[in-house]
Amino acid sequence: MNLLRYLFLAGVCCISLLPVLRAQSHQDSLLVALQQELEGGDSTRVAFQYIVLGNLARDSSDFEEALSYYSLARTWAPSQNVSITSVAVNQQSLIWQKQGLIDSALQQLTEVVAQARQAPTPQVLPA
């Protein structure tokens, strides 16, 4: 009877770990894709990959790792691509809010708003 109980518990543990293992393999494959993007030089795609990695880290409650990925996304985002920068800053702000660091969150959001105001506006070509 005890053997059956232990086998049942072992099976439950294995089933519980499957999403974690899938997430880790997904994160590993994203890191491989990121390495290829770094070699290719497409900074927008690199920034986007860092945001995805940050989201995965945030979802697994590893907030320090998530913040570092979001920071890397901001570093790699092209200066004219305000949307990627704002997504990264928004995610950072949400984490800082959860940690009670409201001042840091407000400062980052203020910087992004200022950057967005300086971004060139799209021009409409005459018909």
Alpha-carbon Rg for the chain in angstroms: 20
Q: Which CATH number fits domain 17-117: 1.10.3720.10, 1.25.40.10, 3.40.50.850, 3.40.50.720?
A: 1.25.40.10
The tens digit of pLDDT for each residue in 89-103 reads 777 777 777 777 667
- Poorest-confidence range of 26-30, 60-64, 105-109, 121-125? 121-125
Instruction: Report d(CA 57, CA 100) in Å as an integer.
Output: 19
Classify residue 119 by its DSSP letter: S
Distances (CA, A) of 118 to 29, 41, 42: 36, 25, 23
The residues spanned by each domain of the chain are: 17-117
Q: What is the pLDDT of residue 21?
A: 43
What percentage of the chain has pLDDT greater than the value 70?
46
* Residue 30, amino acid: L
Instruction: Report d(CA 63, CA 29) in Å as an integer.
Output: 20
Decide: pTM greater than 0.85: no
Examine the pLDDT at 13 and tell me if it is beyond 50.
no
Cα 89–Cα 87–Cα 24 angle in degrees, nearest 5:
95
